[in-house]
Amino acid sequence: MVWVVCLAMAGIGLRLQGGGGGGARKERLGKYSPYAAERQLTTLEEPEEGGKVGALFGLCNLATQNMVEGKLQLYEGDFELISTCLNDITPEEFGFPPSRDDGKPIIDYVDIFEEKNFTACMFKIPAGSRLPMHDHPGMYVWSKVLWGEMEVSSYDRETAQATPRDKSFPSLPSQALDLRPFKVKTKRDREVWRSEDGVKITTPTEGNIHEFRAVTTCCFVDVIMPPYDFMQGRRCTYYEINDREDGTWARPIRCPADYVTRSLKYIGETVETIEG
Ligand SMILES: *[C@@H]1O[C@H](CO)[C@@H](O)[C@H](O)[C@H]1NC(C)=O
Ligand SMILES: [Fe+2]
């Protein structure tokens, strides 16, 4: 499947083609100079064709071009461009205005796009429900509330996670799991996020362990790169947080039994792709 870049980004994409390795990355950084970014963002405001969801897809594709063995090194320009683009997309364009909610007390999940190197999805959480405490090992997540209010609690590891494994992987799946509790520090304590708060970024080290609780029924988008991939050591773990005398601990647990989602079809703006 080949993606079609809309907008002026196409020029950037083409100039980068044929490059490879660090050289191409430098070239790309050049294109992400503040000037280039401004020019691009001006264009994003008036998409000529394709639309903003297509532009978001294109930016994600560019940002993940130089991934080495599943490890992603992002630059300031990547964060800002993706944030600005995501921030600009309306619930209608994503196909999930409040009117789509059928009022059922169930968590809805919608895949916006799903690629090898990045994904975007939406959740609608009914008031009072929550996405249980979970993590995104080695991943970056851009989150934006489309409507409603949610309360976010997040934690950072006190000490960096040991590199999951080296090239000697694959090992048995059971060996891939480290279920020992570890110490964490609080990053956000029941912080309320609304649409007007814009895009919030989770990195491999900041806010990576988090829980989203709906204050009112709410809907938010997550743009994730790289995606969960069990074989690359990027599996989703759920946690219980315990405050103890010696500090706050995160203890891996099974996926909570009451956490159930209903998958809904994506009906927003589509990303144009050509079968190839
Ligand atoms: C995924 O990322 C790798 C590493 O950056 C890149 O070589 C590859 O082309 C990407 N895959 C797709 C489908 O774009
Ligand atoms: Fe998350």
- Rounded distance from Cα 256 to ligand 2 centre (Å): 15
Q: How far is CA 200 from the centre of its chain?
A: 10
The larger pLDDT score, comparing residue 127 to residue 229, is at 127
User: Average pLDDT, stretch 150-175?
Assistant: 69
User: Average pLDDT, stretch 34-63?
Assistant: 66
Specify which of 51-60, 167-176, 224-233 reaches the highest per-range mean pLDDT.
51-60
Q: Which atom of ligand 1 is nearest to the CA of 65?
A: 5
pLDDT class of 50 with cuts at 50, 70, 90: low
The ligand placed nearest to the CA atom of residue 130 is: 2
The ligand placed nearest to the CA atom of residue 273 is: 1
98-264 CATH, one of 2.40.50.100, 2.60.120.10, 4.10.80.400, 3.40.47.10: 2.60.120.10
Please list, residue by residue across 114-124, b when 16 or more beta carbons sit within 10 angstroms of its beta carbon and e when fewer do: ebebbbbbbbb
pLDDT at 187 over 60: yes
Q: Can you tell me the distance from the alpha carbon of 37 to that of 257, in angstroms, rounded to the nearest whole number? A: 45
Among the residue ranges 123-132, 168-177, 201-210, 239-248, the one predicted with the least confidence is 168-177
As for ligand 1, residues whose beta carbon falls within 6 Å of it are 64-67, 116-117
Instruction: Please compute Rg for the chain using Cα positions.
Output: 19
Atom 7, ligand 1: which residue's CA is nearest?
65
Atom 4, ligand 1: which residue's CA is nearest?
67
pLDDT at 28 over 70: no
pLDDT class of 73 with cuts at 50, 70, 90: confident
Q: Assess contact for 84 and 189: CB atoms under 8 A.
A: no
Q: What angle do CA 194, 198, 201 make, to 5 degrees?
A: 110
Nearest to 201 by CA among 130, 154, 143: 143
User: Average pLDDT, stretch 92-104?
Assistant: 97
Name the residue of 16, 28, 65 whose CB sits within 8 Å of the most ligand 1 atoms, as the mutation to test its pocket.
65
**Res 26: pLDDT:** 34
Q: Which atom of ligand 1 is nearest to the CA of 66?
A: 5
pLDDT at 136 over 50: yes
- % of the chain beyond a pLDDT of 90: 64
- Rounded distance from Cα 140 to ligand 2 centre (Å): 10
Q: How far is CA 182 from the centre of its chain?
A: 24
- Rounded distance from Cα 43 to ligand 2 centre (Å): 30
Q: Name, in order, each residue with C-beta under 8 angstroms of 85's C-beta and a sequence gap of 6 or more.
A: 44, 52, 55, 56, 59
pLDDT class of 251 with cuts at 50, 70, 90: very high
Q: What angle do CA 132, 89, 260 make, to 5 degrees?
A: 20
Q: What is the mean pLDDT of the chain?
A: 81
User: Average pLDDT, stretch 27-51?
Assistant: 44
User: Average pLDDT, stretch 3-9?
Assistant: 33
- Rounded distance from Cα 225 to ligand 2 centre (Å): 12
Nearest to 57 by CA among 128, 102, 120: 120
Nearest to 225 by CA among 120, 80, 110, 83: 120
Q: Which atom of ligand 1 is nearest to the CA of 115?
A: 13
- Phi, psi values for residue 244, rounded to 5°: -125, 175
Residues of the chain with CATH 2.60.120.10: 98-264
The larger pLDDT score, comparing residue 35 to residue 173, is at 173
**Res 164: pLDDT:** 53
- Count the Cβ atoms, other than its own, within 10 Å of residue 255: 12
* Helices and strands (H and E) in the chain: how many: 6, 14
**Res 4: pLDDT:** 32
Tokens of 9: 């980004």
Specify which of 11-20, 68-77, 95-104 reaches the highest per-range mean pLDDT.
95-104
DSSP 138: T
Atom 1, ligand 1: which residue's CA is nearest?
117
Tokens of 109: 């999940």
pLDDT class of 239 with cuts at 50, 70, 90: very high
DSSP 229: B
Inter-helix orientation angle 34-45/76-87, to 10°: 10
pLDDT class of 179 with cuts at 50, 70, 90: confident
pLDDT at 121 over 90: yes
